[in-house]
Structure 1
């Protein structure tokens, strides 16, 4: 045993040269510097060595929060954090890389779970280690969703969704682009997480080529997605990921009130704060060593390393630097090759210097002029290229052919850059799936919304121009007006009128204090105006337009609280001889038509379903989907319809509406919502019918003879009183709990299963 211990100490003895900030001293004197292939620099230290039949304890770390364990009982030495099971592969001056754990869930051909493993990692709070933002939460699968959550009681929760119709066609270019592979970021300072996996359809339609779903947190740069190969061979993918992917931890020195020294940074080093209570130490320029070990960083003798610190004269080392003077009879810069020149008389040198300076100035001016001219010409050609690529010539021909040159304003790049202060981050007023929206100010003092769209494929430019053309013809007081566009940038830029009073979603869900202006009468008005605009798009526009992303977040309100339908990034034109269009499924979960989701057949009834969800939000004040609610209430659509069938409508309506609207009015709107949410599109009303019904109900509500509160029937007043006095509402109207807000952005299996047509 003694012989084995001597061999171990010899093999793990301190190295003469280290790789920690150029240090020569790595660990405390007498302490081990390596465990296998992993170098352990101070302030970390190997406090525990586990050997067959014997353990060794040392005091080699700055404090117990930096202690590590070296296990020599396996085939190869392994290094662990503290005395835990988190294996360490590398330690640098700011980071540590550890092993990755993978959660997975596999299914057999009958849809049963054949294998299942969750994943969680808990770094004790006392350790100065947090998960780096170089890590990404990654989901692999074609029928899966996954959650990553922080410690109990924290506000952090995020998720990913993996959907692909044909796993064998998932690209294998090494990037996680969204098809079969989904990634999302994590917050700074995370010390604990757990991962849970689920499936939308138990891999029923993809099990032959994708049997398992995987989720893990790992370094983004070390993971390369293999596409179809990774989807089909679960065992190979698991082994490859465990072998190649690591998790990155950030480490820091934390201020310790029990240590009298204000900092552990030693001589000739600097303290760099990296968090509220944490910092790193680094050697000053011109010094090297371990800044955490006495005596600290030592001066570099630059004169001993001519390749790194060149000197072509007399070298003289100074603290933190060095000087290099030319040899006797020469002058100039000794640190530059050929920098020392033989001394000459002063007059020729001065004359030559002046001539050289003026000559260089002349050459520089000429080159600058040529360069600026070439650059300007390239910029003009690039803008012409983008203009043609984005369909600008087609737009010009269309304007000329119809004689409507003023229908669409063609803005230049310079105009819009000036209007947005060169697309300043401070001018951003919204981000969406189809672009970023900036607030802009035109020279004529008009305030506009400028939207930079995503890149449009060249084959779609004609369709894009057609959509601009049609939207420019839409003249409706409840549709955000398209003022013009710019096609001189790489991505098309659209210019709309600016709507200043936020979204309907904000006024329903975010505004504290009861939303005084959003009365029953105003809700009916907003709903009627929005329905009127959608009906116009469906049946009165030059070519029918299906919005495809109707939701409360896309219904804006101007300074007078007038309704404005916005965001036509997902909209589709419907040829006059067609009543449906086959498209890739797009939309927002909770508002998405289940029939469209399953058939990919887009019709105007898809907008009707989405509008029905907006109406349900208006009269209940609830989010469309919320995983934090009970299973029965998670999906508002199914819960609303079920409440109607069980005659429980007035238990889910906002309490204030029971006071402001009659029960007959609420019942009428609820019946309209129920018809809009019908799973079969053919049995839903048209938007025109919805608009007419809402407008009729609104006129009745505002009629001078309608004194609903002063002259309400006795039974109506008694029911209102009964609802107010009873505890029918387990969840307050506003605000929602933090868990409910977090879960709204998630994906739940119930959201798809309960909306599936039967």
Structure 2
């Protein structure tokens, strides 16, 4: 484990004690040179920065709280994520995000500016990203003045892939994001993508291949082994990325129940067109004059590879980056039928780690379970066999 990650763990452990014993966060970080210097804001500072958390400054809503646009005293624009003060999940997400990214810097990951843990308030402060999320711009129903031409989409797809490859392959222990989706991909003024929202992230212990945990996320993006058995691996993130990649190329949400039944699920539609030899028909007609149809179809094939039913058939993210950038060819015979949402949407989806008896059924729609296991706690189980 690298030194900065160890420091991050120390910081979060002390923050946990802060919550348990009601101390202010400043007392935790001051005077401790070996702990990462996460800036600690007072609640009053953030209240003023967001104009008392004005609805006019609200830029997002999540399962654990709201996000507001704010301006610090020095003129810096920030995104202020206010987590639920009454929810244990809010505490868990707060600690999880601090653990996951307080010491990580990468062009394609959001940057944590600081936090507030004053009284019952749990707030995370991030750098502000001007162009909002992919779900609100590229896939949103409202008008967007952003021109998502082909080169912009390539930049976004490759950037997200590089960010995930960094989390999976370049840091120790690896981080499984567990909630890769369009609403968690934010864009800066240059349309550089940033992976955000690490509240569901998990660290993969040494020599382990997966972590078993309760299911949380959005069903259209969930890999089957995770949706059904609660088994989280790097390949779960890769499946989610594959679905996201299809959305980027097609300009369509992964699920749209307003369409005819055979067209409602993007992955199924893409697979059907691939089998028919007409992949180009799913490419967004609004891309513009710079569209490279051959490259777009290649990206769709990478998306299908990432969503293969068998985990072993899904490429690692470093390989995905090479495929998307043209430094590795795609072997056509490796693309088999992906894990389609209708294959498991009616099955019982596990809400507990593998081996637990309780199960819940979920329809084919976006969902978040009401219970999420303690971040990095002993209640999670790991398996140390080959994947």
Confirm whether residue 403 of structure 1 aligns to residue 37 of structure 2.
no
> Could you say what secondary structure the match of 2:304 adopts?
helix
Q: Is the 8 A contact 1:394 1:465 kept in 2?
A: no
The answer to whether residue 20 in structure 2 is matched with residue 389 in structure 1 is yes
Asked whether the 8 Å contact 2:96–2:199 carries over to 1, the reply is: no
CA positional deviation for 1:420:
1.9
Q: Distance in 2 between matches of 1:520 and 1:626?
A: 23
Residues 690 and 422 of structure 1: CA distance in aligned 2, closer, same or farther (over 3 Å):
same
Q: CA deviation at 1:452?
A: 1.2
The 3 A distance-change label for structure 1 pair 648 and 753 is farther
Q: Which residue of 2 aligns with 1:684?
A: 314
Is structure 2 residue 52 aligned with structure 1 residue 422? yes
What is the CA-CA distance between 1:543 and the residue it aligns to? 2.7
**Which SS does the other structure have where 2:106 is aligned?**
coil
Change (3 A) 1:680 1:478: same
TM-score by length of 2: 0.73
Q: Secondary structure at the match of 1:585?
A: coil
Aligned pair 1:439/2:32, yes or no?
no
Residues 686 and 393 of structure 1: CA distance in aligned 2, closer, same or farther (over 3 Å): farther
- Secondary structure, in 3 states, of the residue corresponding to 1:534? helix
Cα distance change, pair 639–652 in 1 and its aligned pair in 2 (3 A)? same
Give the SS at the match of 1:530: helix
Call closer, same or farther: CA 1:391–1:537 in 2, change over 3 Å: farther
Specify whether residues 656 and 428 from structure 1 end up closer, same or farther in structure 2 by C-alpha distance, changes over 3 A only: closer
Displacement, 1:397? 6.0
Which residue, 222, 228, 234 being the options, matches 1:592?
222
Aligned counterpart in structure 1 of residue 300 of structure 2, from 655, 664, 670: 670
Q: Indicate the residue corresponding to 1:634 in structure 2.
A: 264
Instruction: Confirm or deny that 1:752 pairs with 2:345.
Output: yes
Instruction: Say if 1:504 and 1:556, in contact at 8 Å, map to a contact too.
Output: yes
Q: 5 Å matches for 1:244-643? A: 387-389=18-20, 403-404=34-35, 406=37, 408-455=38-85, 465=95, 467-510=97-140, 517-643=147-273
Does the residue aligned with 1:500 lie in a helix, a strand or coil? coil
Unaligned runs of 5+ in 1: 1-383, 699-747
Question: Equivalents in 2 of 1:659, 1:753: separation in Å?
Answer: 42
Cα 1:657–1:697 shift into 2, 3 Å:
farther
Q: What CA deviation, in whole Å up to 9, does each residue of 1:252-306 have, x standing for no partner?
A: xxxxxxxxxxxxxxxxxxxxxxxxxxxxxxxxxxxxxxxxxxxxxxxxxxxxxxx
Structure 1 distance, partners of 2:229, 2:222, is 12
Q: Shift of the alpha carbon at 1:422?
A: 2.4
Relative distance call for 1:385 and 1:693 in structure 2 (3 A) is closer
SS at match of 1:452: strand
Question: Is the 1:471–1:482 contact (alpha carbons within 8 Å) kept by the matching residues of 2?
Answer: yes
Q: Any conservation in 2 of the 1:545–1:573 contact (CA below 8 Å)? A: yes
Offset at residue 603 of structure 1 (A): 0.8
Q: Check the 8 A contact 2:108/2:192 in 1, yes or no.
A: yes
Determine which structure has the larger helix proportion and give its number: 2
The alignment partner of 1:696 has SS state of coil
Cα distance in structure 2, aligned partners of 1:460 and 1:505: 23
Partner of 1:228: none
Q: Name the SS for the 1:605 alignment partner.
A: helix
1:536-583 Cα shifts (integer Å, max 9, x gaps)? 111223432111111111111111222111112222222233221111
Distance 1:680 1:535 in 2: 20
| In 2: Cα distance, 1:421 partner to 1:571 partner | 31
Name whichever structure is richer in strand by fraction. Answer: 1
Task: Give 1:666 deviation, angstroms.
Answer: 2.6
Structure 2: distance between partners of 1:642 and 1:498: 40
Is the Cα contact below 8 Å between 1:638 and 1:755 reproduced in 2? no
Q: Which has the higher contact order (CA 8 A, sep 6+)?
A: 2
- Would the alpha carbon gap of residues 656 and 495 (structure 1) be closer, same or farther in structure 2, given more than 3 Å must change? closer
Contact residue 150 and residue 287 of structure 2 kept, 8 A:
yes
SS of the aligned residue for 2:256 comes to: coil
Gaps in structure 2 of 5+ consecutive residues: 1-14, 329-340, 350-387
After superposition, the C-alpha distances for 1:470-492 in whole angstroms (9 at most, x for unaligned) are 41111011111001111113242
1:288-334 CA deviation, whole Å, 9 max, x = no partner?
xxxxxxxxxxxxxxxxxxxxxxxxxxxxxxxxxxxxxxxxxxxxxxx
Task: Check whether the contact 2:49–2:71 (CA below 8 A) recurs between aligned residues.
Answer: yes
Q: 1:460 offset after TM fit, Å?
A: 9.9
Aligned equivalents of 2:325 and 2:348: distance in 1? Answer: 29
In structure 2, relative to structure 1, the CA distance for the partners of 1:754 and 1:389 (3 Å cut) is closer
| Secondary structure at the counterpart of residue 660 of structure 1 | coil
Q: Would the aligned equivalents of 1:472 and 1:482 in 2 still touch at CA under 8 Å?
A: yes
Q: CA deviation at 1:514?
A: 9.1
RMSD over aligned Cα, in angstroms?
3.4
For the pair 1:652 / 2:282, whether they are aligned, the reply is: yes
Residue 715 of structure 1 corresponds to which residue in structure 2? none
Q: Residue 82 of structure 2 contacts residue 123 of structure 2 at CA under 8 Å; is this kept in 1?
A: yes
Aligned-pair CA distance for 1:609: 1.0
Tell me the secondary structure at the aligned position of residue 496 of structure 1.
strand
- The count of corresponding residues between Structure 1 and Structure 2 is 323
SS of corresponding position for 1:473: coil
| 3-state SS, counterpart of residue 200 of structure 2 | coil
1:451/1:521 CA distance change after superposition, 3 Å: same
The answer to whether the 8 A contact 1:499-1:559 is kept is yes
SS class of match (2:79): strand
Q: 1:396 to 1:466 in 2, by over 3 A?
A: farther
Q: Report how far residue 393 of structure 1 moved.
A: 7.8
Following the alignment from structure 2 to structure 1, what is the Cα–Cα distance between the partners of residues 90 and 57? Answer: 29
1:48-85 C-alpha deviation (Å, 9 max, x unpaired): xxxxxxxxxxxxxxxxxxxxxxxxxxxxxxxxxxxxxx
CA contact 1:428–1:438 (8 Å) conserved in 2: yes
